[in-house]
Chains A and B, each alone.
Chain A
Amino acid sequence: MSAEPVAATSAESAPHEHLPVDEPPDEDVRARRLAQRRRYAVELRRLLPDDAVLSSEEELRPYESDGLTALKATPLLVVLPETIEQVQQIMRWARDHSVPVVARGAGTGLSGGALPHEDGVLLGLAKFNRILELDPSRGFARVQPGVRNLAISDAARPHGLYYAPDPSSQIACTIGGNVAENAGGVHCLKYGLTVHNVLSVTVVTIDGDLITLGSEGHDSAGYDLLALITGSEGMLAVVVEVIVKLLPVPPVARLLMAAFDSVEAAGDAVGRVIAAGIIPAGLELMDKPAIIAADAFAQCGYPTDAAALLLCELDGTEEEVVSQIQQVSDVFSGARAASLHVAQSEEERLLLWKGRKSAFPAVGRLAPDYYCIDGTIPRRQLSHVLQRMEQLSSEYGLPIANVFHAGDGNLHPLIMFDAGKPGELHRTEELGSRILQLCVEVGGTVTGEHGVGLEKINEMCVQFDAATLTQFHAVKAAFDPDGLLNPGKAVPTLQRCAEFGAMHVHHGELPFPELERF
Chain B
Amino acid sequence: MNDSDESAGLIDTVRQAASSAVVLRITGGDSKKRLGNRISADATDQAFSTLSHTGIISYEPTELVVSVRAGTPLQRLNQVLDDAGQMLAFEPPEFPGSTIGGVLACGMSGPRRPFNGSARDYVLGTRIINGQGQDLSFGGEVMKNVAGYDVSRLQVGAWGTLGVLLDVSMKVLPRPEAEMTLVQDANAEDTQSFISLLRQPWPLSGAMLLDNRRYLRLSGSEASVRAAARELGGEAPDTEDAGIWQSVRDQSHHYFLDRSEGQTLWRISVADHAPELALQGEWLHEWAGAQRWVKTRQSADEVFQAARSAGGHAIRYDEGPAGEPAFQPLEGAMLRLQSRIRDSFDRERLFNRGRFHPELDAGQSYPTAGST
Contact = CB atoms under 8 A, between A and B. Distances in A.
Contact of B142 (A182, A215, A225, A448): A448
Contacts of B270: 216-217
A139 B117 contact: no
B140 A250 contact: no
Contacts of B97: none
Contacts of A278: 174
A222 B334 contact: yes
B146 A447 contact: yes
Given A216-B311, A248-B201, A467 B136 contact: yes
Interface stretch (A46-54, A300-308, A373-381): A373-381
A380 B148 contact: no
Contacts of A279: 173-174
B135 A467 contact: yes
A446 interface: yes
Interface in A391-441: 405, 408-410
Interface string B49-86: 00000000000111111000000000000000000010
Given A136-B199, A218-B290, A320 B221 contact: yes
A404 to B, nearest CB: 12
Given A139-B199, A250-B201, A408 B143 contact: yes
A219 interface: yes
Contact of B62 (A224, A271, A317): A271
B175 to A, nearest CB: 7
Interface residues of B, number: 87
B341 interface: yes
Contacts of A323: 221-224
Given A319-B223, A478-B340, A274 B62 contact: yes
Contact of B146 (A3, A217, A231, A320): A231
B137 interface: yes
Interface string A271-302: 11011011100000000000000000000000
Contacts of B147: 445-447, 452, 456, 460, 463-464
B203 to A, nearest CB: 7
A33 interface: no
Given A218-B287, A379-B63, A491-B148, A277 B175 contact: yes
Contacts of A251: 201
Interface stretch (B205-213, B242-250, B325-333): B325-333
Contact of A316 (B203, B271, B337, B360): B203
Contacts of B195: 137-138
B313 interface: yes
Nearest to B125: A1
Contacts of A228: 149-151, 153-154, 341
B344 A471 contact: yes
A479 B222 CA distance: 50
B357 interface: yes
B199 A248 contact: yes
A510 interface: no
A181 interface: yes
Contact of A317 (B158, B224, B312, B360): B224
A313 interface: no
B345 A193 contact: no
A443 B154 contact: no
Contacts of B182: none
A160 B125 CA distance: 35
B121 A468 contact: no
A377 B142 contact: yes
B248 to A, nearest CB: 16
B259 interface: no
A478 B121 contact: no
A161 interface: yes
Contacts of B313: 215, 217, 219-221
A478 B343 contact: yes
A224 B126 CA distance: 15
B120 interface: yes
A131 interface: no
A231 B150 contact: yes
Interface in A227-251: 227-228, 230-233, 235-236, 248-251
B334 A319 contact: no
Contacts of A448: 142, 144-146
Nearest to B220: A320
Interface string A318-342: 0110111000000000000000000
Interface in B338-372: 338, 340-341, 343-345, 357, 360
Contacts of B272: 217
A451 interface: yes
A216 B275 CA distance: 13
B137 A209 contact: no
A417 B321 CA distance: 70
Interface in B181-238: 195-196, 198-201, 203, 220-224, 226-228
Contacts of B334: 211, 222
A211 B333 CA distance: 7
Contacts of A277: 85, 174-175, 177
Nearest to A375: B142
7 contacts: A216-B311, A221-B327, A225-B338, A317-B224, A319-B223, A463-B148, A471-B136
Q: Which 3 A-B pairs have the closest CB atoms?
A: A277-B174, A227-B153, A319-B223
Interface of B: 60-65, 85, 107, 113-114, 117-118, 120-121, 125, 127, 130, 134-138, 140-151, 153-154, 156-158, 162, 167, 173-175, 177, 195-196, 198-201, 203, 220-224, 226-228, 269-274, 287, 290-291, 311-313, 327-330, 333-334, 337-338, 340-341, 343-345, 357, 360
